[in-house]
A and B are shown apart, each in its own frame.
Chain A
Amino acid sequence: MQHGKYRFIVGFLAVPLAIYAVFVISPFLQAIYYSFTDWTGLSPDFKMVGFKNYRKMFADDVFWKSVGHNVLLLLVLPLVTLGLGLFFAFMLNVGGRRRKNAAVAGVRGSGFYKVVYFFPQVLSIAIVALLFQFAYNPNSGALNSFLDAVGLDSVRPDWLGDPDLALWCVMAVMVWSNVGFYVVLFSAGMSSIPKDFYEAALLDGANRIQTFFRITLPLLWDTVQTGWVYMGIMALDGFAVVQIMTVGPGGPDYSTEVLAYFLYTKAFRDGQAGYATTLGVALLIVTMIFAGIVMKLGRRERLEF
C-alpha cells in the first residue's frame, strides 16, 4: 500500500501548488511589500518609503469617501438582500393555503418562482450593469419613461447623474441581482425544518410572524450567517457595477467611489502602483474586521434537528 505513496503525493500536488503559489500567494505577499514603496508601476525603479503611502492614504479625502461608501454598502446590502431573501423564502415555504393534514404549506408554483428569481444570478455582472445603465438613462431609459407613462413626468430623477441618488441606484442593482440566490438558499434550509415544529407552534397559538422569529430564523441561523459573509464580500467589491454604470471616475463628485475601483484607477490610470497596493492592504483590513464582527455577533449555540 505504501509503495510509491510519496511520489504520488508530490506528483498530484506539485502542479496545483505551483500555479497557486505563483498567481495567488506571491502577488498577495508582494502587495504588502509594495505598499511600503513609491513604485509607479510604469518604471522598474522604486525605493522604500516606509509608511508614507499610509500617511497619504489617511489624508486622502477620496479614500475616506470610498471607505464610507463601502461601510454603507456593508450595512445596507446584506440587511436588505438577506431580509428580502428570508421574506420571499418564508412566503414560498409557509405562505401557502393550508391543506389537509399539514400545518404549513408552500405556495403553489414555488418551483416556478425559484427558477425566475434566480435569473439575475446566472447573468454576468457586466450584463446586469449595462442593462441598468440604460434603465436609469434620464432621457430614454425604462425608468423615466415608465414615470412619464403613469403621469409622473414632473419627477424624472437624474438617477446615476445625481450625486445624492447614484450610490442608492448602484445598491438597488446589487440587491436586484442577488436576492434570488438567497431565496433559493434559505428555501432549501427551510424545507429541511421538520413540519412538526410548525404544527406544535400553531397548536400553541403562534401566528406566522411569531413562527418566523421563534422557529424558522433560529433554525436557519447558520445559513443566514454564511449568507451574511457572502453578501459582505460582494459589498466590499462592487468594482464592476461602479466601473460600468456610473459616469466619470467613481460617479458624479466621487459619489459612488468604492475602495476596489479607487485602487484600480490609482494603479492602472494614475501610475501609482505602490499607493494602490496600500489601498489594497486597507481593504484587506476592513475585510478582516468585518469577518471578525460577523463571527462574534453570530456566535450562538448550534441547534441540531
Chain B
Amino acid sequence: MSAAESESAVERNGAGDRIGAEDRIGTEGRVLNVFSHGVLILWALMVTLPLLWAVMSALKDDKAIFTSPWALPTSLHFDNWSRAWSQAHMGEYFMNSVVVVAGSLFGTMLLGSMAAYVLARFEFPGNRFVYYLFVGGMSFPVILALVPLFFVLKNMQLLDTYHGLILVYIAYSLPFTIFFLSGFFRTLPSSVAEAAMIDGASHTRTFFQVMLPMAKPGLISVGIFNFLGQWNQYLLPAVLNVGDEDKKLLPQGLVALAVSQGYKGDWSGLFAGLVIAMLPVLAAYIVFQRQVQAGLTAGALK
C-alpha cells in the first residue's frame, strides 16, 4: 500500500491515523527527492565537466595537458589565449562571424517580417501559394541543395564573399522566420492598424511605426533563434566560403586551427581557441537565459 493510497483512505474515512500517513508520505518524498537530485546532479556534471576540462586545459602548458589532463593548472598560461587570438587568427575569424551574422540577422528580420506581415494580413490571389512555398522550406534538407547552390553562387561571383554568405543565410532563415512571424502578426488586433490608416498613414508607415513595434516579443523570440542558428552555422560556410583563409568564420576557423595546431603540437593554443569561441556565447546565454530558452522552445512549439 503506497503512501498515496493510504492518504486516499484517510480522505475517504475522514478519520484514521492521519499523522502516520503524513509521516510515510514525508519519507517517500525524501527518498524521491534524494533520487531525483542525484540523477539531476549527475547529468549537470556530465554537461559541465567537459567544458571545465576545456577551460582548464586552455590555461595549462602542453606538457601538463598530456601528463595530467585532469589536474588543476599549476600556473596560469594566459599566453595561450593571446597566441590563439592573434597568431592563430581567432580574432579575425571572430570579427568575420560578427560581420556576416550582423548582416544576415538584420536582413532576415527585416525581410522576414515584411513578407510575414503581408502574408498574414492581406488577401490577394496567390497568398496561400507563396506562404506554403516559404513554409515548405522548413522541411527541406539543406544538404540536398548544396551542390547546385555552390554553382549558383559561383556563377554570380558570390563565392567566398561576405555578402554571398549573408544572402544565403537570409534565404535559409526565411522559412521559419516567416512561419513564426506570420502566426504572430495574425494575433495582433487589427483595430490599431485601421486607426493608423484612418489617420492617414500609408501601409508602409503603418507597418514600421505601428505593427512592427507591437510585434516586439515575437521578433525577439525569432531573433534569438536566428542568431544562434546563424552564429553556429557550420555546413554552409564549410562549402561556400573556402577560398580565402582570412575570410573564415569562427566555427570554420576553429576546425582549421585544430588541423594546423595538431601538426604543430600546440594543444594549449588550440584549447585556448576553443575557449575563446565558447565563452562569449556562454556568457551571453547566462545573462539572457530566460529569453534564449523561451525563444528556442517557442521555435519548436509553434
Contact = CB atoms under 8 A, between A and B. Distances in A.
A188 B295 CA distance: 12
A205 interface: yes
Interface string A15-48: 1110110111111101100100000010000000
Contacts of A204: 8
A205 B8 contact: yes
B301 interface: yes
B69 A27 contact: no
A34 B234 CA distance: 25
Contacts of B139: 287, 291
Interface residues of A, number: 103
B144 A284 contact: yes
B168, B234, B274: residue with the most chain A Cβ atoms closer than 10 Å: B234
Given A9-B124, A23-B167, A205-B2, A97 B33 contact: yes
A88 B24 CA distance: 25
Counting contact residues on chain B (CB < 8 A from A), the size range is 35 or more
A19 B163 CA distance: 12
**Chain B interface SS verdict (over half):** helix
Interface in A122-174: 122-127, 130-135, 139-142, 145-146, 149
Contacts of A291: 139
Contact of B228 (A122, A207, A259): A122
A259 B4 CA distance: 51
Interface stretch (B13-21, B78-86, B212-220, B278-286): B278-286
Contacts of A145: 68-70
A84 B40 CA distance: 11
Contact of B141 (A122, A237, A276): A237
Contacts of B152: 22-23, 26-27, 30
**Chain A interface SS verdict (over half):** helix
A161 to B, nearest CB: 15
A299 B241 CA distance: 42
Nearest to A180: B47
Interface in B8-41: 8, 11, 25-26, 29-30, 32-33, 35-37, 39-40
A107 B33 contact: yes
Interface in B62-114: 65-66, 68-70, 111-112, 114
6 contacts: A19-B174, A24-B172, A30-B148, A116-B48, A133-B258, A239-B234
3 pairs of A and B residues whose beta carbons are closest in the complex: A95-B36, A126-B251, A280-B144
Given A41-B151, A124-B251, A135-B50, 6 more contacts: A107-B36, A117-B43, A181-B297, A233-B141, A267-B147, A283-B141
Interface of A: 1, 4-6, 8-9, 11-13, 15-17, 19-20, 22-28, 30-31, 34, 41, 84, 87-88, 91-92, 95-98, 107, 113-127, 130-135, 139-142, 145-146, 149, 176, 179-181, 184-185, 188, 202-208, 223, 226-227, 230, 233, 236-237, 239-240, 243-244, 259-260, 263-264, 267-268, 273, 276-277, 280-281, 283-284, 287, 291
